[in-house]
Structure 1
């Protein structure tokens, strides 16, 4: 099921998102956004325009080029033009996402503008040379900043509460692109204390660390280890561990453990599996270490957490 809360109706045509305005004209070449709600997305193979994907509720799993990226409510994913992908919802639960899709020439113009010097902006031919291909945005998730969250809320509010003819789409979508690129650049500020001079080096290191982080999020229930993660990031184990901790404020091992504990909490509340089964499902090798770590993170054993949480839920029903 696809639901759209706005002034237009969403249609699918050849794997693309198209917009049909009230006068009936197909507007597939224009910028637009879609609000998807699905009870267990089916993983249909699709091809996208340049788009920005946000998780609103639940977690979406994007399958792209044999990689799997988890996008939750605190992250967003920039997908390049004509990226082939499929998406499913984690646990087959209800998942909601926002997809902002951009016209190819709109993005080219935006990028060309920000790459030009002030003198170059006066050269119309340089500015509007749209024959060049779109730049490739690194394929990894990025955190949603407060500024970006406010921009999304403002954008949705304008689209939903105002007649289409009264909305300045160009201003809204250019503002969204500016905020997204600023958010991506802000993520690089974590390197300010590291002895890295070239910005291109900062970008490359953050890209590699983000790829490893996304790999952890997709495979945390498996036997991931430091050597494997450092190979994914194309860094030495020492360099990877040091850079990961400095960048994300947590060691790779603790990051894995935290994801496993959160998954275990969800299973304890929503499934009737035994503690032993949950221990195995989330990637722990034995119940004793699972119980010890779970207790250190939550202050309760798995069994106590399940019983007390269910009692609280029952009292509210």
Structure 2
């Protein structure tokens, strides 16, 4: 570390290019320090976000006319263009910090997911062994990798936010209400109906026994989960037959049917006519 007037510190700085800017999230800097007794930062502002992790000692952090004492293991975040002031709270233990600065349109949303926003720009007891290791990887990626390891930095930023997510600490999460797990199952089916999923798979996803899941789903939707999946597949098949040049075989396999015959049989039972007949009826020559 290099010695400065108020600290021993080292920084790595990064300049985004057009590709970084297009991705919506990029690293600006990473660094670490050991503060001297006269350490006093601010009042100051930054043009980017900067998360400061307290590795030893404690901090008096001032923001928006408020002052809070933060301890080892806590983190505070400087938001762009807002003024902050921070200094050691106890000189008996030297203050040590590691920081990660970043910017982009995704930044505020990711911070909000972990409970950090301008009204509460800090979180407590977050510096786990996992987080420590990720912070070290930021430094090693910047210092040791040649070129511009933007994807490595992106992966580390996402990994850091995942590790800071307070919801991961719920060892016994509350069971979703019926309305919530039905919504979750509908979202899943509407997204993945063309894949090889079944009712067992969906019930397991929402943590409900298949029989009970099917019963409640049918009561709420007026249709069984199996028929709902079939409806999604058949409506998509009809759209593809009408709007695309895909063959019947290509449509069958795209909807996870094992072969053309099983798809044609399902289509005929559902609509009353085979897919080839439907395509002829909706072809431009018939209009």
Which is greater in Rg? 2
Shared fold, TM over 0.5: no
TM-score, normalised with respect to structure 2:
0.43
TM-score, normalised with respect to structure 1:
0.40
